[in-house]
Structure 1
Amino acid sequence: MPGPTAPAAAAAGAQQAEGGMSPLVKSAAQGLVMFFAVQFMMSKFLPNKGTSTQAVTDESGKVVAVAPNNAEIPPFQARPDTLSEGAVWNPVPQRIAPMWPLDTSLDVTIIVSPTFVSEPLAKVPKERKIVEETGFIYGDYDQSRVIDKTFAVPKEVQNNGTLWGHFYVGISGSILDPSTPGYDPSRAYHFLHPLTQYIPQKKVVKTKNLLVAAEDTEEVEEEVPTGPIITSHYHPNVTMSFIPDSGVMQYPTVHPAVRQYIHMEATGARDATGQNGWYYPILFINTFWQLKSHMTTLNSTVTQLPIHIDLNHLANWKFSLIASLDEGAKQSARNAAHGISSAGGGDGSEFEMIKEVLLDTNPWLLGTTVIVSIFHMLFEMLAFKSDISHYRNKKNNVGISVRSILGNVFMQAVIFLYLLDNNENTSWMILFSQGMGILLEFWKITTVVNVRIRDSAPGSLLPYRIAFEDKHKLSETEEKTKEYDAVAFKYLYMVAVPLLLAYAAYSLYYETHKSWYSFIIATLVGSVYAYGFLMMVPSLYINYRLKSVAHMPGRAMMYKFLNTFIDDLFAFTIKMPTLHRLATLRDDVIFFVYLYQSWKYKVDYTRVNEFGQGGGDEVVDEKKDEPAESVVAAEPSQDVAKATGSKTKGGATKRK
């Protein structure tokens, strides 16, 4: 019986059932593809600001033509004192080049402050100077520094404030403080960056024990806060990387996630064309790998904080990719906090899960998982195709458990309702795939029976009822199938109903719920999660009584069972409750029973069998009434032989 975590695990189980880890891998792949696609489109189709003649307005308001901006940008130290004749100074530089050459020795000082207003470095207490590095060689990838410090948390930050980092970078020996006489902006620069993040707390769901008195419920509800709460969070690990190979950039078309780290030369100097400028070395504050689960919520109880800084270099392509992905995930979280829908309907939590998997999983195991997940999606599509083909080509109801199909519709509908009731930010893709599964099961029903709406019996509460009527007069074997299906479900009810009632009583007495509706959905989804595999048992029972598996969709079953083993791999790769890890093994039992039945009741799938099927699920020529001969490798049961009018000789079956 599932414990209190069953409903939460059910959601994970539902998503895993829709493709294991494939949604996570799919999200990462989509992010990479989108980034490179945007970069390609911008480079190919946006107008190149630097290679075409431009119209610029000068100070007098006169429009003048500027020559194509494709000249080489001189080093900053060799910049001209005046613009070329006819050139116009552009307030927005079109092309920008690095300001300082590689191999420059740099000094870096970083202080923490509760305000974005800079203060003289001489007056800053030493304990707030978390970084004081000298002689860092810009462009030397072997250069790497590690800094560990502890600092006191300002009271303003304890009161849900922002902790700011003031960054001072300059050529070694230069004055870093802009407020100090003699400061030279061509040799040093200052910028600030927040060291905390504002993260919306998960919305607190009002829950109550449905059996307690009404007055107690009201008191509990008054204590539950409503609406999203945004609080300041801090992560102790920060990676700061210089980007030495950023090169010349087309500034107006730079991605906003990258542009926020570009600091232009302070005086506004331009080259002879008046269109191009320079920028200071890019220092990337990399928060991409900061997981929310590792962050500290800042409040009055937090008085001291540690900080671990890795100061190094990073390639430009990695910087562009990481900055874009990180900003996209943060924007999704901000949109979700303000109630704005984003593509996919998520709040960035899926991307957070991807990062957690990448950090906590062995690289070899992770690589294997990514490759296997591709096969998982392939097998899903093949199983879907084979399942549809099997039911489209099936001419009778032999071996089909109609009750199992109805049960699958019910279980998938329960999971769908649970996702709607408990996950406000559930991705629409998950809901869509779940809905498609329900429609497929509904379609299967229409292939084996006629679904009709009939008048209800006298005295019924509802005026109409849904009736399932046979499509044709059933043969004796089909009648036997119907009988075996009823017997299997009779035993299934004897096991499942008491377990369901016991779990419902436990959940009602010990757990809290939003409403009676949520209680019913949570109880049902917990039972589906724990006992859903029992829905395959009637099919195995029918196979046993018919002594045949020829009526089973062999290809679809094999694809589904291959995915079951892939899910086993995922269960031991990603974090999940122990109950869910064990539950992933439940379908394996069904698989091995089916393998045994396939061995026991051998079938030659290359020939048409006693049920009018075969040839690898291919369609039998409808112009012919029936094949002249069908062969099965094993002797069928007496029921099958009697229904098909066949005689047995030497282990083969021939139709009269």
Structure 2
Amino acid sequence: MPPAAAAVAAGGAAAGGQQQQQGGVSTFLQAVLRMGMMWYMFNMFKGGGQQTAGTGAASGGMLRPLYARGDLVDLRMFLYERPYLHDFAKGTLVWELPGVALGTTPEHKHTYSYRPSKAVQNNGTLFLHAVFSRAGVDFAAEDLPPGSVFTKTLPLIRYMAPLKNKTGVNLLAAEGGPVTTPKASQAVSDQEAAPAQWVSHFKPNATLSIIDHFTAYTRANVPQPLREHFQFADQEGEQYLPLSYFDEFWLLRDKMVPVNDSLLETPLHLEVKTGSIWWMQLQQQMEQSFNMQTSMGIAGEGESDEVKRIFLEGNPYLLALTMVVSLLHSVFDFLAFKNDVAFWKDNRSMEGLSARSIMVNAVCQLIILLYLFDNETSTVVLISSGTAVTEAERAPPGLPPQPMCLPWF
């Protein structure tokens, strides 16, 4: 086969492979590369030295931790349908964990069977309140020293559109018969035709991470990612409370439970663990990158979940091998496109070439591109598939060659 036809065929096979892998491993590599570029651009353009007004923070002085590593606190978790829990007696105590050592405590797990109320079943809200108090202190007393009791709150209800129905049609069945029954097919059609409605979903997992970080800072040197996590014990803002946050990085959309009248009981898995400051900052950077990619249209909705799923369910050795193969695939795809451009640039004759094969390959590539565009594939995959749609138009002998056609560019 001539080099031009081979390059076009290789481009077709590459685009077909990308179309098959768009929801799997190739998506991981593309998302990681985009995340790295977004992280670099974010750090380059965000600017340094800008100080935000913290809670009670002045321009000078020191910030010191109120608690030290190893101090004991009592932890209680309450369920309440409002974001603020002023009266602890109104909340539902779901877990009590005494004697938690800050910065050194091992993992603790607990499962609670939650029965949603009528208000929650009808798109109501629900919050998990983690209440810290010094060990042995009555957390409900009113005359406690500042910083003796502090809380962290997590909304357990998330409103989002339901996942798309993945029921399809078996094209290999006799006469193209559908996989589902006629009534089920009609229900699927009605569901697709109806406008998308936001549905409340229950988060079945709640992981509270207590950061092992007890460092004094000058106010001007507080790292920017930590500012939003700082809670101060007094209005002067000289002593900050232990850093903690609810880790939702590994909570995927398809693991959430839709809430409606039929949901009578569901488990709530609680976990308390010690986390590191660098892992918290890495999670923040990755979440910011995912959100930025989605807002800019580079990544599709829920594509970050597929990347996280690869980390959760994939073999690390196979993942490393896949990254290497994907990089080589991208390099070979670029070289094939480069050689294709160089060949048609200097070509003066169609001798030995099959115009029919070239046109058929170009049409196939265009069909693949339109299919990816119709399925709302990420922009990176569309660009890669669009560059493969190349068609060389050659005039009759004796006339100068016509320029190469690059659709979508």
| Pairwise same-fold verdict (TM > 0.5) | yes
The Cα offsets for residues 536-578 of structure 1, whole Å up to 9 and x where unpaired, read as: xxxxxxxxxxxxxxxxxxxxxxxxxxxxxxxxxxxxxxxxxxx
In the other structure, the counterpart of 1:297 is 258
Counterpart residue type for residue 237 of structure 1: N
**Alpha-carbon distance in structure 1 between the residues aligned to 2:82 and 2:118:** 11
Counterpart residue type for residue 120 of structure 1: D
Counterpart residue type for residue 98 of structure 1: P
**Alpha-carbon distance in structure 2 between the residues aligned to 1:391 and 1:17:** 30
The 3-state SS of whatever aligns with 1:397 is coil
Structure 1, 312-321 or 225-234: larger mean CA deviation = 225-234
Q: Does 1:138 align with 2:86?
A: no
**Alpha-carbon distance in structure 2 between the residues aligned to 1:148 and 1:132:** 12
Q: Does 1:31 align with 2:31?
A: no
Counterpart residue type for residue 35 of structure 2: G
**Alpha-carbon distance in structure 2 between the residues aligned to 1:200 and 1:251:** 42
The Cα offsets for residues 37-86 of structure 1, whole Å up to 9 and x where unpaired, read as: 544765xx523659xxxxx9xxxxxxxxxxxxxxxxxxxxxxxxxxxxxx
**Alpha-carbon distance in structure 1 between the residues aligned to 2:96 and 2:36:** 36
Query: Structure 1 stretches (4+) deviating beyond 6 angstroms?
Result: 17-20, 218-223
The Cα offsets for residues 269-324 of structure 1, whole Å up to 9 and x where unpaired, read as: 24xxxxxx332112121111111122211111112121222211111111011133
Q: Does 1:364 align with 2:339?
A: no
Q: Is the 8 A contact 1:158 1:299 kept in 2?
A: yes
Q: Does 1:113 align with 2:80?
A: yes
**Alpha-carbon distance in structure 1 between the residues aligned to 2:76 and 2:191:** 46
The 3-state SS of whatever aligns with 1:109 is strand
The unaligned stretches of length 5 or more in structure 2 are 1-14, 169-185, 400-409
Percentage identity across paired residues of the two chains: 24
In the other structure, the counterpart of 2:196 is 228
Q: Is the 8 A contact 2:77 2:129 kept in 1?
A: yes
In the other structure, the counterpart of 2:297 is 344
In the other structure, the counterpart of 2:49 is 47
Q: 1:137 offset after TM fit, Å?
A: 0.9
**Alpha-carbon distance in structure 2 between the residues aligned to 1:151 and 1:309:** 12
The 3-state SS of whatever aligns with 1:370 is helix
The unaligned stretches of length 5 or more in structure 1 are 1-10, 51-55, 57-88, 208-217, 271-276, 334-341, 451-468, 473-656
Count of residue correspondences: 365
1 or 2 for the larger relative contact order (CA 8 Å, sep ≥6)? 2
The 3-state SS of whatever aligns with 2:69 is coil
The Cα offsets for residues 390-426 of structure 1, whole Å up to 9 and x where unpaired, read as: 3444454343221111112111222222233342xx3
The Cα offsets for residues 105-153 of structure 1, whole Å up to 9 and x where unpaired, read as: 11111111222231533454xxx3222111111121x622122222222
The 3-state SS of whatever aligns with 1:108 is strand
**Alpha-carbon distance in structure 1 between the residues aligned to 2:139 and 2:307:** 40
**Alpha-carbon distance in structure 2 between the residues aligned to 1:163 and 1:330:** 24
Superposed, 1:40-439 pairs within 5 Å as: 45-47=47-49, 49=51, 91-93=56-58, 96-124=63-91, 128-140=92-104, 143-177=106-140, 180-202=141-163, 226-245=194-213, 247=215, 248=217, 254-255=224-225, 259-265=227-233, 267-270=234-237, 277-326=238-287, 328-329=289-290, 342-394=295-347, 396-423=349-376, 426-438=377-389
Structure 1, 315-324 or 372-381: larger mean CA deviation = 372-381
The Cα offsets for residues 136-189 of structure 1, whole Å up to 9 and x where unpaired, read as: 11121x622122222222222211222201110122112323xx3333332221
**Alpha-carbon distance in structure 1 between the residues aligned to 2:116 and 2:78:** 12
Q: Is the 8 A contact 1:288 1:323 kept in 2?
A: no
Superposed, 1:421-460 pairs within 5 Å as: 421-423=374-376, 426-438=377-389, 441-442=390-391, 445-446=392-393, 449-450=394-395
Q: Is the 8 A contact 1:114 1:154 kept in 2?
A: no
Structure 1, 97-106 or 31-40: larger mean CA deviation = 31-40
In the other structure, the counterpart of 2:182 is none
Superposed, 1:528-543 pairs within 5 Å as: none
In the other structure, the counterpart of 2:10 is none
Q: Is the 8 A contact 2:28 2:310 kept in 1?
A: no
The 3-state SS of whatever aligns with 2:381 is helix
Q: 1:354 offset after TM fit, Å?
A: 0.6
Indicate how the Cα distance of structure 1 residues 21 and 171 shifts in structure 2: closer, same or farther if over 3 A, else same: same
Q: 1:32 offset after TM fit, Å?
A: 3.9
**Alpha-carbon distance in structure 2 between the residues aligned to 1:41 and 1:368:** 34
Q: Is the 8 A contact 1:204 1:226 kept in 2?
A: no
In the other structure, the counterpart of 2:172 is none
**Alpha-carbon distance in structure 2 between the residues aligned to 1:430 and 1:410:** 18
**Alpha-carbon distance in structure 1 between the residues aligned to 2:324 and 2:214:** 33
**Alpha-carbon distance in structure 1 between the residues aligned to 2:55 and 2:229:** 21
Superposed, 1:444-593 pairs within 5 Å as: 445-446=392-393, 449-450=394-395, 469-470=396-397
**Alpha-carbon distance in structure 2 between the residues aligned to 1:287 and 1:383:** 42
**Alpha-carbon distance in structure 2 between the residues aligned to 1:220 and 1:170:** 52
Q: Is the 8 A contact 2:201 2:257 kept in 1?
A: yes
Greater Rg over alpha carbons, structure: 1
Please report the TM-score for the alignment, with normalisation by the length of structure 2: 0.76
Q: Is the 8 A contact 1:240 1:285 kept in 2?
A: yes
